[in-house]
Structure 1
């Protein structure tokens, strides 16, 4: 879907399609029918932007098989779908039932491992063939470098070398195809990239023309930073927001009183990190319920934008609204890509975006 910023620039609005990785191209097509086609019908639009999740083995195969990429592009077109972003955050293989999913911020090799580089460049090579003809450039999202726990000097040096190779690889893709792809690193609790200070420091010597951040606004909420100040710090450091995922986190002002409701969000094998305003961090909600740190808590668990969690819990709605409004308030859009599950033009208008009269999708 295309939305029109007040500057006249286009902002691409996409909808995620998969809850688990697909083994092969026919499985991807099945997901397009099961998820994206149903959403397009519900919001009654001609063209729906979707963000695909292709696992490493499938990505490697598609990256060297031009015919398969052409077929995938044709399948998208036939369903009124377009792709401008690919998710490379999780690293699960097709059919895996592990803890990884499109919203995970860790798992698989980190950015000190060349395997992460190879996977991301495979996605970039695929994306340039899927982009609509009039799209300026596309985006691939990836993890926030890796887990903070165990991230030592050796990993940091290896990561710096690999990020240089990533920048060079993206430049080569652009030179060979005439289409540009940027990579956004997704910060989150427990990651090397967590708050705005760590992002600004990490990007001090990085190619910011091709590399930036892919913000999960629920994860931003879990930093407890004021979203305007967070975005101002990124802008001051010259770090581009390549993509923003419009999501809400769970909040418990009084965790003891909310313990019963919180237990309903515990999922074995699907950890939901918990943070507190004083910098406290626990890797999973089950740990927080056991150790009972002082509240309030914010939990990186998905809360649908149109719903409220059961009392006495709340959602960090104010955080994502403030962040999106700031991203869209400037002379130019603060990001070219939003990932959202809005279902009506009214919801889009509430984000400070104006859908064109002919082309409304989400």
Structure 2
């Protein structure tokens, strides 16, 4: 979906397809038919943006085959879909039965991570709509925090210089600029925006910047205004925003039973207590745990925020809540001013398949309906900040309801 900011810029809003398990060309095409097109239809939109996730093997295949890229673009166009951003964080097997720490490998000390990211940029340059200003690729924040030392940091920095050089070459070849955003995440070398400023000091900021995941920002207990001011002062652009919300427990001891229902084996759910932002080490066990079950066993003081992307429109059961208030504050900081703070936004709830059983979609149709409701929620938030839908069917005008409420009403069978 496209929205127009008061400054005249186009803001692209879509959803990230890393929620789907496809890892080959046939699977990518199938998910367009089974998920993306139904989401677009549920929203009543003429055009829907996708933040495609392409696993490394299919990215390499597409990067080597211009004709295959053109076929994929034609299929997207035929179904009313467009791509301005790719998710390059998971390398492969992101919806495997157990992912956990494997999602951080290979990291930015490796040639494989550089090659994968440049493959994605090459693919994206040919998928971009003709009128899109640029493309973006999000990637991991260098590496998991251990092991990490000066030698690894130096190697990673050389990879980033090579990345900027490669992106410049792609732009010369295609005429299409593509930027890469490094996504701070709990437990990684770059967990908070201050660490991003240090790690990315001196990079080519025309091509490299930050992908700001709003669930991660909340889990780091960062104030959005301060975080964004810090990035602006350092000259680091917000290349992309992941519109996401984390799980929150104001008083963990009384919420322990509810929290236990969210423990699951696939993903890490890093848990951070309110003191994290003031700890010398953000992974200090007095304030933090690398997974939710560890937090429940160690009982750091509350409140907690848990790196568990929850559906934006469907709050968790009490006494749990979500960090949607942080999301709202961050969007206001980005878009309520005279200039848009970012032009690529993805709703990234990749956890639909591991939600507590009562909240989990049972069919493809239920998953598509849930994603549509999240996108409608995000669009309503942006419209409330003054952005206007651009170049697509407008939501209907029923008084007293938002677009997200109407989508949810039409698909009331989705678990919530």
1:5 and 1:105 mapped to 2: Cα distance? 38
2:102 and 2:340 mapped to 1: Cα distance? 25
Shift of 1:54: 0.5
SS of aligned partner of 2:264: coil
1:18 and 1:187 mapped to 2: Cα distance? 18
Find 2:107's aligned residue among 103, 106, 110. 110
Note closer, same or farther for the CA distance 1:237–1:106 as it changes in structure 2 (3 Å cut): farther
Q: Equivalences for 1:3-22 in 2 at 5 Å?
A: 3-22=3-22
2:151 and 2:313 mapped to 1: Cα distance? 44
1:354 aligns with 2:388: yes
Structure 2: which 5+ residue stretches go unaligned? 277-286, 348-373, 396-403, 405-416
1:128 and 1:293 mapped to 2: Cα distance? 46
TM-score by length of 2: 0.83
Shift of 1:351: 4.7
| Structure-2 residue corresponding to 1:214 | 211
Note closer, same or farther for the CA distance 1:234–1:67 as it changes in structure 2 (3 Å cut): same
1:348 and 1:297 mapped to 2: Cα distance? 27
1:106 and 1:249 mapped to 2: Cα distance? 18
| Structure-2 residue corresponding to 1:293 | 300
SS of aligned partner of 2:8: coil
Q: CA RMSD in A?
A: 1.9
2:93 and 2:313 mapped to 1: Cα distance? 32
Q: Is the 8 A contact 1:11 1:338 kept in 2?
A: yes
1:349 and 1:105 mapped to 2: Cα distance? 38
Q: Is the 8 A contact 1:190 1:281 kept in 2?
A: no
Deviations 1:170-223 (A, max 9, x none): 000000110010001110100111112101111211111100111110000011
| Structure-1 residue corresponding to 2:75 | 75
Q: Equivalences for 1:1-362 in 2 at 5 Å?
A: 1-93=1-93, 96-99=96-99, 106-279=103-276, 280-340=287-347, 341-343=374-376, 346-356=380-390, 358=392
Deviations 1:77-135 (A, max 9, x none): 110000000111101148844316xxx99422110111100000000000000000111
Once the two structures are overlaid, the 10-residue window that deviates more, 303-312 or 341-350, is 341-350
| Aligned residue-pair number | 359
2:34 and 2:291 mapped to 1: Cα distance? 30
TM-score by length of 1: 0.95
2:144 and 2:232 mapped to 1: Cα distance? 24
Q: Higher helix fraction: Structure 1 or Structure 2?
A: 2
Q: Is the 8 A contact 2:245 2:322 kept in 1?
A: yes
SS of aligned partner of 1:239: coil
1:225 and 1:70 mapped to 2: Cα distance? 42
Note closer, same or farther for the CA distance 1:202–1:360 as it changes in structure 2 (3 Å cut): farther
1:359 and 1:184 mapped to 2: Cα distance? 31
